Amino acid sequence: MDLNSITTILIGLAGVAGGYVGGRKNSTLAGDTVTLLKTQVDELRTQCAQIPVLHERIAVLEELVTQRAKVNEVLEIVTEIKERLNA
């Protein structure tokens, strides 16, 4: 074989080796990206699962605020009646 043939073969082998190494590197990067995305999706699912519980808590708090307002109204009426009776 002459030098040009050997050089051509070596360049071809280097290209194949480079493609293999680059492909493995990109494959690893893609795998890491997929793992990261799966982690984020799992976290979002966990947070979304908490939404109904939070809605229930909000409903309870709204009810408590409403009850407190009604109690204050009754207290004002009782105070007014007391003042009239004491007058």
52-78 pLDDT, tens digit per residue, is 999 999 999 999 999 999 999 999 999
Q: Indicate the residue type of 62.
A: E
49: CB partners within 8 A, 6+ apart: none
pLDDT at 21: 66
Q: CB-hemisphere CA count at 13 Å for 82?
A: 6
21-57 pLDDT, tens digit per residue, is 666 666 666 777 888 889 989 998 888 889 999 999 9
Q: Is 42 left (phi over 0), alpha (psi -120 to 50) or beta?
A: alpha
User: Which residue do the tokens 């109204």 mark?
Assistant: 73
